[in-house]
Amino acid sequence: MARLLPSDLSPQDFENASEWPTAEALGQGLPDSWVVIHGCHWTLPTRRRLMQGEIDFVVISPAGAVVLIEQKNGSVEYEGGELSKAYGGQTKSVSKQMARNRESFLRKLHRGRVPPPTGCISVGYFPDVRIKDVQDIALDDCCLVDQGRADRLPRVIEELIGGGEPEPGKVAAIVSFLEGALDLVPSLHGHRTLADRMRIQLSGPMRVVLENFEMQPMRLRIEACAGSGKSELLRVLARRSVAAGRRTLLTCFNRPLADLHRNGLPGATVETWFSLRRNLAEALGIELRFPEKADWVFWRQLEEETTEALGRLEWPAEFLYDSIFVDEGQDLADEDIDQLLKLLAPDGDFVWVGDPEQDLMERAAGRHRGHAVLRVLDNYRTPTRLAAELADVAPSGVRFLNPAEGSGLEVRQLRGGEQDLTEALEREIAQLLRKGLDLSDLMVIGMQGTSGLKPLGDSIGPYSLRRFTGGYTLEGEQVMTSGSLLAESVARAKGKQCAHALVLGGNASSMGEPEWRRALYVALTRATVGATLFVDMSR
């Protein structure tokens, strides 16, 4: 079976439902040494305008040859000497679209300094029609697969570009570039609702800015609002660093976010701030004894011992990086940034990405240190109905640009304490599941920190929870419960998103406080479709 990307595709992820059987057929019909990518959105700047498009499927052979598949369902017309299809009263040329996609694809690879594919062929796939004759100079019979050959699509692809000596390095380079530059994974988290698809398309110009940004050495601070795609923007730069053969470090304060980055950045070192300091301490010979429960005293003591050891020992060579990238940088203090800069090689690149408005711990680094500053206030994630509810808590200047409507915000006022909250959550989850969402589309977000989730126990009715227990293994790894429904504190939820957020808003007495409003803003902007806010009105 071929490697299918994104790896967690399901029928619900396809805006065009007929593309799901195609993905299955290609995945099951091609050998396991092949790669099949669905939904590559591309952007290409020209002198006059920004060109954008999407390639339905990209198939890569073990030898590094590529097939770009354009799938057209329904009727296809033959007009003006070429194949065409009608969209909303307008007729568009299929051959010109295929040629434009191929040209742009190759130009993007060239701009990204990616080795050119061994060959690149465009294929038109028309599963609902029979094509008897082709008189379009831009198309060839071998590059068209109609209803008569639909069941042989994988075999046709294999015959077109199969063979040749395997070039795993070239294949890996192409796939790595596509993941970053063409956003074949529309988000770090795999959720592909309509709102998420619109965010990827709308944020294209910002990706273009970063793809063409040059500064030597790079000293860049990106202050970007929630939902702007700042983590994906950071990946563009980090992938470029890895592709250039530079020792690359990406760090953040948030453990769940680091895990997501680690899966999407092969070739880079990805660590949380604490795990980075732990590894440095081990390299300096400091003995580590992790407490059973989260303990800030332990980390402060470790920091002091590490600083003292660095004053008398030689700096470990493995902790020197050519490029350092910081995500959710508002969570790190000034002294933390100073420590990171000590890990940077002379003339190395340093990029800080964060949102000062999401600084829940009031410790954000405030000095720019002479860095160029790019401010991004465009939110592409939050749909319109939910954005309307954020008007009173969103920072000044933030623009909500996602045109998807979404389901909005529901507020549940509770008066019976913890038991009432659990029962209300269970009812809400059941209702959302009946509407077609899965547990993986939901996230419980506690605005009172990790401790605020403990009263829920290990489950909400029949729905088992996956949450941080507050404990650690002897190796320093966080201990999570093994449930299916994710529950996070608002601080740990930063950098994540979900279709629907179930927000535990505490009690009525805290409503309106600046800290509460900021936490609510962070929590609600995790959602790509809608949210439910639970507030205890009895206190």
CA distance 536 to 539: 7
Q: Where is average pLDDT lowest: 82-96, 460-474, 489-503?
A: 82-96
Q: Which residues pair with 379 in a beta bridge?
A: 400
Average pLDDT value for residue range 153-169? 91
CA distance 481 to 502: 19
Per-residue model confidence as pLDDT tens digits over 172-183:
889 877 765 444
Higher pLDDT, residue 158 or 7 = 158
Strands (E), 371-449: 372-376, 378-379, 399-400, 408-414, 442-446
Q: What is the pTM of this model?
A: 0.59
Average pLDDT value for residue range 224-246? 85
- Judged against a pLDDT cut of 70, whether residue 507 lies above it is answered with yes
What confidence score (pLDDT) does residue 182 get? 47
Tokens of 176: 């790595």
- Helix, strand, coil distribution of the chain in percent, nearest 5: 35, 25, 35
CA distance 468 to 488: 7
Place 39 in a pLDDT band, splitting at 50, 70 and 90: confident
Buried b (16+ CB within 10 A) or exposed e, 448-480: bebebbeebeeebeebebbbbeeebeeebebee
Our separate counts of H helices and E strands in the chain read 15, 26
Report CA-CA distances (Å) from 367 to 231, 304, 322, 335, 371. Answer: 21, 23, 22, 11, 9
Q: Which residues pair with 91 in a beta bridge?
A: 86
What confidence score (pLDDT) does residue 503 get? 94
What confidence score (pLDDT) does residue 12 get? 62
Per-residue model confidence as pLDDT tens digits over 259-277:
888 877 889 999 988 888 8
What confidence score (pLDDT) does residue 44 get? 61
Kind and range of the H or E element at 195?
helix 194-202
Report CA-CA distances (Å) from 355 to 180, 233, 332, 367, 398. Answer: 22, 13, 11, 14, 12
CA distance 341 to 409: 42
What confidence score (pLDDT) does residue 208 get? 63
Q: What are phi and psi of 18, to 5 degrees?
A: -70, -10
Report CA-CA distances (Å) from 290 to 230, 296, 378, 467, 482. Answer: 33, 11, 41, 20, 22
What confidence score (pLDDT) does residue 45 get? 53
Angle between helices 194-202 and 204-211 (to 10 degrees): 40
Average pLDDT value for residue range 226-241? 83
- Judged against a pLDDT cut of 60, whether residue 187 lies above it is answered with no
- Judged against a pLDDT cut of 90, whether residue 443 lies above it is answered with yes
Per-residue model confidence as pLDDT tens digits over 193-216:
444 454 555 455 566 666 667 788
Three-state secondary structure call for residue 355 = coil
What confidence score (pLDDT) does residue 324 get? 96
Calculate what percentage of the chain has a pLDDT beyond 70. Answer: 82
Give the ranges where 266-395 is alpha helix by DSSP (H): 273-283, 296-310, 334-341, 384-389
Kind and range of the H or E element at 199?
helix 194-202
**Sign of the dihedral through C-alpha 383, 387, 389, 394:** positive
- Which fold would CATH assign to domain 204-379? Rossmann fold (3.40.50)
Q: Does the domain made of 407-536 have the CATH classification 3.40.50.720?
A: no
Q: Where is average pLDDT lowest: 112-116, 129-133, 216-220?
A: 129-133
- Judged against a pLDDT cut of 50, whether residue 188 lies above it is answered with no
Higher pLDDT, residue 164 or 507 = 164
- Judged against a pLDDT cut of 90, whether residue 58 lies above it is answered with yes
CATH number of 3-179: 3.40.1350
What confidence score (pLDDT) does residue 365 get? 53
Sequence ranges of the domains in the chain: 3-179, 204-379, 407-536
What confidence score (pLDDT) does residue 215 get? 82
Tell me the Cα Rg of the chain. Answer: 25
| Mean pLDDT for the chain overall | 81
CA distance 294 to 284: 23
Q: Which one of 36-50, 113-127, 252-266 scores highest in mean pLDDT?
A: 113-127
Q: How many CB atoms lie within 10 A of CB 162?
A: 15
CB-side exposure of 88: number of CA atoms within 13 Å? Answer: 0
Burial, 71: exposed, middle or buried (Cβ in 10 Å; 0-12, 13-18, 19+)? middle
Place 9 in a pLDDT band, splitting at 50, 70 and 90: low
Per-residue model confidence as pLDDT tens digits over 374-422:
888 888 888 888 998 887 788 888 999 887 788 889 888 887 767 788 9
Tokens of 454: 């403990």
Place 487 in a pLDDT band, splitting at 50, 70 and 90: very high
Opening angle at CA 44, ends 42 and 48, nearest 5: 145
- Looking at residue 30, the DSSP 8-state letter turns out to be S
- Judged against a pLDDT cut of 70, whether residue 470 lies above it is answered with yes
Average pLDDT value for residue range 207-230? 80
Higher pLDDT, residue 304 or 118 = 118
**Residue of 464, 526, 459 whose CA lies nearest to 489:** 526
Q: How far apart are the first and last CA of the chain?
A: 57
Opening angle at CA 174, ends 18 and 151, nearest 5: 30
CB proximity list for 41: less than 8 A, separation 6 or greater: 52, 53, 54, 182, 183, 186, 200, 201, 204
What confidence score (pLDDT) does residue 360 get? 72
Per-residue model confidence as pLDDT tens digits over 348-384:
999 999 888 887 766 555 556 678 888 888 888 888 8
CB proximity list for 486: less than 8 A, separation 6 or greater: 442, 443, 444, 465, 466, 467, 498
Same fold, 204-379 and 407-536: yes
